[in-house]
Amino acid sequence: MNSSGKNLAIWVVVALVLVIVFNMFEGGKRDVKTANVAYSEFLKLVESDNISDVSIVGRTITGHLDDGTKFSTYTPPNDPSLIDKLTRKNVIIKSAPEEEAVSPLLGLFLNWLPMLLFIGIWIFFMRQMQGGGSRTLGFGRSKAKLLTEKQGKVTFKDVAGVDEAKEELEEVVEYLKNPIKFQRLGGKIPKGVLLVGPPGTGKTLIARAVAGEANVPFFTISGSDFVEMFVGVGASRVRDMFEQGKKNSPCIIFVDEIDAVGRHRGAGLGGGNDEREQTLNQLLVEMDGFETNEGVILIAATNRPDVLDPALLRPGRFDRQVVVPNPDIMGREKILKVHMKKVPLAPDVNARTIARGTPGFSGADLANIVNEAALLAARKNKKNVSMEEFEEAKDKVMMGSERRSMVMTEDEKEKTAYHEAGHALVMLYAKGHEPLHKVTIIPRGRALGVTMWLPERDKLAHTFNELNAQLASLFGGRIAEELIYGKENITTGAGNDIQQATNLAKRMVKEFGFSDKLGPLRYESNQEEIFLGHSVAQQTNISDETARLIDTEIKHLVESGELKAKEIITSKLKELHIIAKGLLEFETLSAEDITNLLKGKKVKREDNGNSESVDELKKKTKTPNKSTADKKKPLSSVPITVKNTT
């Protein structure tokens, strides 16, 4: 007899014992409470006034004596004088129709239905408590899923832009496939690999690629799956997860977002329960405790390595920490090509150009650009995706969607054009500034106009002159408004520019040491996200005198940037008018278009066939001056300029 048969037999015996005990108690209670009397004796009791009340159901009579004793009897077929006798003796008579005959088995079942239901529920819950993790009470079972991707399988060929991280994990996969190659030289299999990087860089994708490449069991679980409403469940799930891993070794366990369970111990500062700490303690023991977990490799991913417990990061637990950064220009080009394989492309599509125009983008951002371009092409009923759709998708992701339905007056449009022309002019002539890319006065996102610049290459550091040039370009829009419309007619459109300039100047003084008076000291406190347990112990104290000096230096940098912008625009005022008129005419100008306008060449547009020179633009619109600006009505909405600084 197998185990299931034995369990069934045990439960049958338990049920029979319960039925017998229940019958014994119920039978005893009926004998005590109810007395069966003969019909003749019943008549004597009636005559002697010992009957209190009776209930007549068919030929069965039940009732109570004067002392409260319950009795029952059975009447003969014909006794018409019975009712008269009972009425004469003032006996309370109750009558009811005769119930239909019920089968004994059905009656027994109905009587035992509550008890059987209780037994059934009890058996169900007992089995659930002993059952697997998918059942109701299987709290302590691991929720790790065995990944078996037959369709949509991801391999290392699908991962691009993170070559160093891929090499690290390729070695792990090779070790699992051929461990003897490494063991003969005394090498040990790494116990854990931690993938660290910003969101969207492909950490989970790399883990899926490992699962696709390695011919070993691959378990995946999220860090939040360990945390439950019951204390001790997380630790139990960790134990069960590693037990499953040992049974299927060699295997890989992937824990996504491990910071949900691996945070610093003691961060709660005594408040609340320590469920997360118990789970972390169990994880530490399982990874490197007295018992060894040979053949079980733990791969974890997080974008918050600063909050992880130091004991979790040491060698022996996570032997390798693989950084998965945002890709460089070569990596972005490779990522774009991977995603472009799924999209029909036009001959003019150049992945290199798109990669150059997306500095600081993650893999997820690039995938989004390709998807948006495909959607735009589908909306236009095109058979393939051209460079035009990719440029439009890039602008949409970086700056927001176009808001052509927004109603702008000619006055507002003109001020926005001069504002953006001021930015563009300073970017062109400020020494050390990155090249100008595009200027538009089409409202996008939360901005009424946008001026973009793009670096020629991915820069890892910036010089003092480059940052000063950037400060000057930020004030180009405000200075242009002041010179064209007068200081009293400056709009609030430079609010975002001033914010960016202030933040940049603060970092130059307090972090980068670009102030001669303050020296190469860091005066900025930790600006990372607040984490209880870290932030409590961190303090930055500076004197009032130093604080005033910092404010002075920040103001000096900002004002010098503003002065530089004013010098450039004042000396190039004629070119400012040309760019502004071009924006009013074409709404969007590239760096090439602006260069052609300044050289007196024509700007061509393929969509409408228009081409106008500088002389034609001058004839078409007059240059506003301070006197005409005073007569203009106040703006109902003001332009806001946002420049992409990635």
Give the other-Cβ count within 10 Å of 401's Cβ.
13
Catalytic residues: 420
Q: Give me 624's structure tokens.
A: 């506003």
Sole residue written with tokens 């901005």: 447
Separation of alpha carbons 240 and 133, rounded Å: 10
Give the CA distances from residue 31 to residues 54, 70, 166, in Å, rounded to whole numbers and listed in that order. Answer: 19, 11, 84
DSSP per position, 27-82: HHHHHHHEEE--HHHHHHHHHTT-EEEEEEETTEEEEEETT--EEEEE--S--TTH
Tokens of 255: 């824990």
DSSP 518-586: T-S---PPP-SPP-TTTGGG------HHHHHHHHHHHHHHHHHHHHHHHHHHHHTHHHHHHHHHHHHHH
Dist CA 363 CA 335 (whole Å): 7
Question: How are the residues of the chain apportioned to helix, strand and coil, as percentages rounded to the nearest 5?
Answer: 50, 10, 35
Looking at beta carbons, which pairs linking 57-63 to residues 24 or more positions away fall under 8 Å?
Answer: 57/95, 57/96, 57/97, 57/98, 57/99, 58/97, 58/98, 58/99, 59/98, 62/34, 63/91
Q: CA 427: distance to chain centroid? A: 37
Nearest to 482 by CA among 408, 548, 545, 569: 569
Residues with Cβ within 8 Å of residue 336, at least 6 apart in sequence: 351, 354, 355, 366, 369, 370
